[in-house]
Structure formats: structure tokens, C-alpha cells
Structure 1
Amino acid sequence: MASYSIQEINDLLKGELVGNTTQQIEGPEQLQNAKNNHITFIGSTKYIKYWETSQACAALVNDTLSVEPGENRAIIKLKNADLAMAKILELFNPPAPEFETEIHATAVIHETAKMGDGCKIGANCYVGKNVVLGNGVVLYPNVSIFDHTTIGDNTVVWSGTVIRERSDIGSHCIFHTNVSIGADGFGYRPSDDGRGMVKIPQIGNVVIGHYVEIGANSCVDRAKFSSTIIGDGCKIDNLVQIAHNCILGRSCIMAGQSGLAGSVTLGDGVIVGGGAVIKDHTTIGSGATIGGGSGVINDVGPGQTVLGYPAQDSRDMLKQWVAMRKLVKK
């Protein structure tokens, strides 16, 4: 098990070390659960009260907070303790599962598929006709990549994921377990005789940029025509639905159980809170924030924050909530 002195950790973080501890640090942990061989972090005033009773020997602390280290304990003051903790987590991150062979004997790989250097293909994977895998692509067991799909360098695809035909995936992406890329978009119209529904063919594809991460059990549907597009650097949580012909700009964030109906456009850096839903053919401007649980039925301007159902400007919605509480009290 790896362990580090407080000085070695501060050399990595380059913060302001206050106090000292002789205890070797063997991992990070929450304040309340930490033992004396753990380092923890304090990112806001609400957690300072737990430091006194915590057994942690060290803490990363935002430099705006007043925290005393105590006996044989140390704190490292930093501009952003949250980001610093990410470096600590990376330091102690266990290695990924290992492949005994680069290409498992049970994998089915079409003769026309092309694979770059250093690809690893796990048990029971399927790689279809004319698929192109870049250098260092990793497919964990039970992944299916269908025909004419391209995947860029160093992308990692976890078990159970299905990437349908004609998808175009960038480099350095991560798809967690059971992600669905390129399934049919949801398109139906009533039949002429009024006795059923006519399925609308979805003949487009999905285009995903570089450094995109998609959480477990999330779905990105292919377009009716043209492409559903996920821009570079987007981070998608678990259980997220992105419907046909949606376009996401760069570095958008979508939290768990949120969803986009068809043909929604997100600008760059949009944040969609957990459980929020956005109506079809809606445009959300760059830098906008959609509060958790909101229902968006109209366009949202750049940089705007909206809340509620239906979603409104956050300041207006908060005033309404205050007014409603006053009515209830009366």
C-alpha cells in the first residue's frame, strides 16, 4: 500500500503547510470517517466543526477558512481544496483491471476492422464490419461496436456498452457500464387510418468529441438525419437521456436523471442539474445553468440561471417561492 509524508503531499500540491504530522498518510477519507492515517479536506465553513473530533492527521483547507491544525496534525492551505483533493485521489487511485491478453480469444472481430497499436479487447466483445479503433483503445468484456464506427485514440469503453453503427467517437473518451450510443431516436406519428403509430426512420448518426465522459446507463440517440453531437469535454452523469438531433457545445455538464428531448441545443459550458428536463427544439445559451428538477419549455439566454417547473429566471422563481411561503403562513 502506498503511503506518503505530509511534506511529500505538499510538494505535490504546492500549498501552505501549517503544523506537522509524523504519521504516514495512506489515503484520503471524509472528515467523520477518517482514521489517523488519512488525509481529509475542508472546503467550506460548515465542515470546520468536524475537524476537532476527526481522527484525520491532515486536511486540505481552502485558504479563506480559519482552521488550526492541532497536535501532531497538519493542514495544507490552498486556493481550492476540492481540486487539490482530486490530485490526492489520483495519487491513491488503484490500477484499472488488467488484461491477461490484449485480444481475448472469445472476442469476435470482423476481418475488415482496423485496430491501432496497443488496443485491448476483452472477453465476448464484438467489433463489426469496417470499424476503426485508434491507438490504445480499451474495450472491457461484453462491449459491442457495430459497423462503420470510428473510435479515437485512448478511449475506454466499459462492459455492457453498445455503440451502434456509423458512430464517430473522439479520443480520450470514457464510457462507463451499459452506455447506449446511437440507438434509434424516438420518432412516431399517428397512421393515416388512426389505428396505430408509424415509426419514423432514424438514419443519422452520433458524433462525440474528444475527452467526453458518459456515465453508466446513459443514452445518446442517433439523429433522424444529420447527427446528434456531443462537443469536446462534455461530462454526462449516470441515467441521462440525450435524444435525437441534440447538439451539445464544449464542456457541458449534465447531472444524473436529466434529459434532453429531440433537437435541443446547448451552448458551451451549460450546466444541467439532476432531474432537469428540457423540451424539444429548445436552445440553451452558453454558460447557462438549469437548476435541478427544473422543466425548461422556453429558450434560455447565455449565462442565465433558471429554476422551477416551468423554469423561470432564478431570481423571479425564488421571489415566488418566498411569496408562497408567506401565503401559507397567513
Structure 2
Amino acid sequence: MTNHDTQHRPVRIDPSACIDPTVVIGPGVSVGPCVVIGQGSTIGENAVIHAGAVIGRFCKLGRDNVIHPRVVLYDDCTLGDRVIVHSGAVLGADGFGYRTQQGRHVKVPQLGSVEIEDDVEIGVGSAVDRGTFGPTRIGAGTKIDNLVQVGHNCQIGKNNLLGNQVGIAGSCVTGDNVTIANRVGVADHLRIGAGAFLVSGSGVTNDIQEGTRVSGYPARREEDVERALADAAALPGLREDVRRISEYLGRSSGPAAQDDESVRTPAPR
């Protein structure tokens, strides 16, 4: 995914756009057909908002943002400068928060927000849920691929890379410069240290120390996984050795061995 040049785009507001009178629009902003912008929102200068995007109430968008077609920003989302959000992404939907009461799942109100810092890019069909009380935050310079889920209350560090189909459950924290490769699942309330690398397909169920490279399920240090795989490769030979030892011990303790023992045992006086 790359930043799109907006310098030569026509600066205009399409007449079909539905913009609340309280919205503040900076200079050089382009708003496409059928865009909706809600009460009290602010759009920074030189932003480009493409057709069919919906921006809720009290959202704040910095300068040079690019919002692609059919993006949805729920109320109270804040985007820094030079943020790119690709088609179909949803920012600020309710977090998956419920409590079980008398056998029923009762919704816990999600009263927080979403904060996207400068130079973040969010891929097609990805979702960043709002926090329960405070913000869910994506750190500056982080790049998020397509079809990624970031759960409520997460605090994603700066310059993270999140590959496609990554799922991060609620209330996780990542340090700066973390790489989470494609199809990684991260359980809730975990901490991923700065500079960690989570290999594709990993399932993370415990905190990961900074600078550690992990893989597998449950995710472990990659050198431990490689050692375990090497041990597993030796199992067929080990099983054959155990079979031979068992056969030998079986012969040693059989009837013939007992006869030999009786011959060697002195007769009682």
C-alpha cells in the first residue's frame, strides 16, 4: 500500500455530499459524491474524502488525510496528519464487550473513542474498535494491512507492522517497531514488547518480551520451536530403539532366563 498523490486532485465539495452546518472544513479539501459528515467534525487542510465515506459526529481529521470510498468513521474518532484509510475500513465501532447476566449476554456500553496518530495507513476491510472508557490508540507510523481486527482498548505502538488477517483481542499493548505477520492471533490483555517479531500463523497466549521472535501455537521463541521440531523428527528412531530394548528385556525376564537363574541359585541346606 502506498500513499496517493493528492496534489493534482480537483478541490471541490460534491453537491450530493451531506455535511452538517457545524462542520469545519480546512482549505484545499476535496469531498466526493454522497459523503456524509456529522455534527461538530473538523476536516484538516488538503484532505481527500472519497465517494460514499461516512464521518460521524465530533471527529477530528488532520491535514493531508486520504479517506477512501465507503470508509466509516463512527463518532469521536481522531486522525492525525497524513493518515490513509482504505475502502471498507471501519474505525470506532463498538468493542466486543458483554457480561453474562441470568444466562443472557448483556452489552457493556462502549463509551471510549479511537485515536489514530500521524502517518498511519489502514488497509481494506480492517476494523479498529473504540475503547470501553478511554481511547483505542494506533501509534504514529504504524501500517495495517487488509482484513485486520484491532480490539477495544488496545494500545498499538509506533511503527508497528500488522499483516493481513491479524486479530488482536481487546486491551493488548504493543511496543514500538513490533512486526505481527499475517494470520497471527493475539489473545486479550497481553503485552508485546518493543521490536518483537510474531511469525506468520502464530497463536499468542502469553506476553512476549521485547526483541523476541516467536512462532507456533502457543507462540514460543523460534529457537525453542526449531529445537522441538528437531526432537520430533528423531522420534521414529527413538521409538524403534525403545522397541528393541523392550524385546531384549522381555527375553531377559522370560522363562528361559528364570531357568538359568534357578540353576545358579544354591540349593537350601
Shorter-chain TM band = 0.7 to 0.9
- Quick one: which of 241, 245, 260 aligns to 2:168? 260
Q: Using the alignment, how far apart are the partners of 2:19 and 2:130 within structure 1?
A: 23
Q: Using the alignment, how far apart are the partners of 1:205 and 1:306 within structure 2?
A: 31
- The percentage of counterpart residues that share the same residue type is 36
Paired residues of 1:234 and 1:252 also in contact (CA < 8 A): yes
Paired residues of 1:285 and 1:302 also in contact (CA < 8 A): yes
Unaligned runs of 5+ in 1: 1-85
Give the aligned partner of residue 177 of structure 2.
Answer: 269
Matched position secondary structure for 1:183: coil
Give the aligned partner of residue 261 of structure 2.
Answer: none
Give the aligned partner of residue 114 of structure 1.
Answer: 24
**Structure 1: 4+ residue segments shifted above 2 A:** 93-101, 325-330
Matched position secondary structure for 1:250: coil
Give the aligned partner of residue 11 of structure 1.
Answer: none
Q: Using the alignment, how far apart are the partners of 2:49 and 2:132 within structure 1?
A: 28
Paired residues of 1:211 and 1:232 also in contact (CA < 8 A): yes
- Quick one: which of 39, 46, 55 aligns to 1:145? 55
- Quick one: which of 202, 221, 225 aligns to 1:313? 221
Give the aligned partner of residue 103 of structure 1.
Answer: 13
Count residues with an aligned counterpart: 238
Query: How far 1:328 sits from its partner (Å)?
Result: 5.1
Q: Using the alignment, how far apart are the partners of 2:4 and 2:186 within structure 1?
A: 38
Paired residues of 2:124 and 2:145 also in contact (CA < 8 A): yes
Query: How far 1:327 sits from its partner (Å)?
Result: 2.4
- Quick one: which of 108, 125, 144 aligns to 1:236? 144
C-alpha distance after superposition, 1:22-56 (max 9, x if no partner): xxxxxxxxxxxxxxxxxxxxxxxxxxxxxxxxxxx
User: Structure 1 306/94 Cα, relative in aligned 2: closer, same or farther at 3 Å?
Assistant: closer
Unaligned runs of 5+ in 2: 240-269
Give the aligned partner of residue 248 of structure 1.
Answer: 156
Check if 1:226 corresponds to 2:137: no
User: Structure 1 94/289 Cα, relative in aligned 2: closer, same or farther at 3 Å?
Assistant: closer
Q: Using the alignment, how far apart are the partners of 2:207 and 2:79 within structure 1?
A: 29
Give the aligned partner of residue 255 of structure 2.
Answer: none
Q: Using the alignment, how far apart are the partners of 2:156 and 2:181 within structure 1?
A: 15
RMSD: 2.0
TM-score w.r.t. structure 1 length? 0.69
Matched position secondary structure for 1:322: helix
User: Structure 1 203/264 Cα, relative in aligned 2: closer, same or farther at 3 Å?
Assistant: same
Give the aligned partner of residue 196 of structure 2.
Answer: 288
Paired residues of 1:202 and 1:223 also in contact (CA < 8 A): yes
User: Structure 1 134/232 Cα, relative in aligned 2: closer, same or farther at 3 Å?
Assistant: same
- Quick one: which of 77, 91, 96 aligns to 1:186? 96
Equivalent position amino acid for 1:227 in 2: P
Spell out the pairing of 1:38-77 with structure 2 (5 A cutoff).
Answer: none
Paired residues of 1:99 and 1:122 also in contact (CA < 8 A): no
TM-score w.r.t. structure 2 length? 0.84
Give the aligned partner of residue 135 of structure 1.
Answer: 45
Greater relative CO, 1 or 2 (CA 8 Å, sep 6+): 2
Q: Using the alignment, how far apart are the partners of 1:328 and 1:102 within structure 2?
A: 71
Equivalent position amino acid for 2:175 in 1: G
Query: How far 1:323 sits from its partner (Å)?
Result: 1.9
